[in-house]
Amino acid sequence: MIWNLGSINADNFYYLRHLPGPGETLAADRFQQGLGGKGANMSVAAARAAARVVHIGAVGDDGKWAVDRLLEYGVDTQHIARADVATGHANINVDADGENNIVLYAGANHAVTERMIGAALAEATPGDFLLMQNETNGQAYAAQTARTLGLRVVYAAAPFSAEAVQEVITHVDLLVLNEVEAAQLQASTGTELSALPVDDIVITLGGDGCKWVSNKAKTEESFPSFPVEVVDTTGAGDTFTGYLVAGLDRGFEMVKALDLALRAGALMVGRHGTADVIPDLKDVQDHDFS
């Protein structure tokens, strides 16, 4: 089982000819709202990859629709609390080439308490996964508790904060980050990735695929991406991570789990949206990338 301490957002998409510069005002060509947040995206991705996922998080009084949507997509929502602040949301600008920039409001995502986390993880079984990102509070407590209980801890280091990574890194089994975040982590710690106290590190490289650094096995291996037409990169990294953890939870070796995750991420960049359009396992398995 996967226990995901993660954010839940309303994603507001604004489709533009180009991304706005400083002081620039642009009229959007189109607007769309959907379920998002890195946590929600990863929960949906893992559930669609045939894993059993329990989401740990919070929404405001305005967030019942988001909880209902997660439940509809196969995510266990019994550990999503109601907070006295607005549900988190993201304003996402997407240009004609599929690139984006994002403004986040944390809202209820920062109202998660240690009591909520402890109550959820008390139901976990040794060997389960704890998945986290840097869009909620309580990460250090969750990581330490999970490690004590015998869970395997996965940390997706986004949005990147060197301090947040260093608070949890001694409890992390698998660290997932993109190329920019990897460089930031090395710069902030002065330590090569191969010297970090983490068994496995996966660096996503966008259109160049990903790299796996196994500090446990003392090996590095690169994997190419699958050729696709990019429509929107939003949520592709979250889809990759959700599928990766789901594959590992199903007992896949890392290489097989990475192949599955790369396929899912490749399908995702061909779609507009986030959690609502994450591909399911049949889509991923049936798609011919040749």
pLDDT tens-digit series, residues 40-52: 999 999 999 999 9
Q: Catalytic site residues? A: 238
pLDDT in tens, 220-272: 999 999 999 998 888 999 999 999 999 999 999 999 999 999 999 999 999 98
**Tell me, what's the pLDDT at 273?**
79
**Tell me, what's the pLDDT at 145?**
98
**Tell me, what's the pLDDT at 102?**
84
Distance (Å, rounded) from C-alpha 39 to C-alpha 134?
Answer: 9
Kindly give, in sequence order, each residue whose CB lies less than 8 Å from that of residue 276, ignoring residues fewer than 6 positions away. Answer: 34, 35, 69
**Tell me, what's the pLDDT at 108?**
98
pTM reported for the whole predicted model = 0.91
For each successive 10 residues of the chain (290 residues), what is the average pLDDT?
97 92 95 91 98 98 96 98 95 88 92 98 98 97 98 96 95 97 94 93 95 92 94 91 98 97 96 90 92
Q: What is the DSSP letter of 113?
A: -
Q: What is the dihedral of CA 136, 138, 140, 146, to 10 degrees?
A: -100
Task: Compute how many other C-beta atoms are within 10 angstroms of the C-beta atom of residue 75.
Answer: 25
**Tell me, what's the pLDDT at 90?**
87
